[in-house]
Amino acid sequence: MTGKVVEEGEEEGTQSTDPPSIRQKTEQIAKSQMSPTALSNQSSSNTTYHQHNFRQSLSIKAKLQKTQIEFVNSYKSNKSNLCMSFNLVGSKLSRELKTLIDRLKPVVFVYNFRDENPARIDRFLDVSATLKTERKCEFLTFWFRWDHDWEGDGIEDWEPVTYILKENEVIDIQTRVHWNIVRWLTDDPILEGKERAIIYFSKHGHAPYMQVQSNIGWLRSAFNKTKTGYATPDFLDVMDERDQYVNITKYAVIENREPPATSRAMTGVRILGKKFFAKCYKKPNSS
């Protein structure tokens, strides 16, 4: 009696009622005609084939694990090098900012309300500085902060004084006065030494002015155009009342701090439908 063939999915001991297929008959005939040695060789061949595939799978898995480890180590190394580069750049900028602060810290004058009893000096709360690089120029901005803008309004006021440097040389000094940004070096301002700004902060909104020796730049433009509005008479008043201002000789500078992003010193304000104060300096054409 011949042995039965169990189909895939059919449990042993269950009698199949379907007639054998042609494939099943062919396999039965082939097996009956094979010698025990051939059957043994076939089994050995199948075992060798599976062992080869198993070893190959282990080899591929080992290579994948090695590649993964190499990738992770490479990522960690590159990340470490990148962090180190950023730290070096940040450290260099920090040292450069400190050097420039010591070199260009403005000489400042604020108004002394002598008619009040007791007399009151309109002194700022603190000063901070930031350094930004764009193309070939550096922009060093000192931010002077008061707890009010105009007297009694209670609005925090940040007033910028910006030095623009190219190849370590001061090529402009700019301040933001009322409705416009003023480029001072065109008017030959009086400086401390050869490059340190001397700033007078107006009693009206702390607009920062410099004493000049000519009027070929912003002043001529101010007299010829009405867009500067209050800046022109305010500037003339400040220059006439310089003896009413006192020099703040000692003040610390906080590094790498500027007004909050939500401050109007950064967002600007709208006057008669136009937006002002959104920028604290103008880039030179050559930059």
Q: Are residues 253 and 112 in the same domain?
A: yes
The answer to whether residue 109 scores a pLDDT higher than 50 is: yes
Q: Are residues 213 and 83 in the same domain?
A: no
Q: Are residues 115 and 185 in the same domain?
A: yes
Q: Are residues 233 and 137 in the same domain?
A: yes
Q: Are residues 100 and 131 in the same domain?
A: no
Q: What per-residue confidence (pLDDT) applies to 153?
A: 79
> Per-residue pLDDT tens for 183-218?
999 889 999 999 999 999 999 999 999 999 876 666
The answer to whether residue 38 scores a pLDDT higher than 60 is: no
pTM above threshold 0.85 = no
Mean pLDDT of 223-246: 81
The answer to whether residue 85 scores a pLDDT higher than 90 is: no
Cα 74 to Cα 70: distance, rounded to the nearest angstrom:
6
Specify the higher pLDDT residue, 32 or 135: 135
190 occurs within a structural domain: yes
The region of weakest confidence among 13-22, 103-112, 192-201, 277-286 is 13-22
Domain span at residue 240? 106-276
CB atoms within 10 A of CB 235: 24
Q: What per-residue confidence (pLDDT) applies to 41?
A: 58
> Per-residue pLDDT tens for 140-186?
999 999 999 888 778 899 999 999 999 999 999 999 988 788 999 98
What's the pLDDT band for 12 if we cut at 50, 70, 90?
A: very low
The domain total for the chain is 2
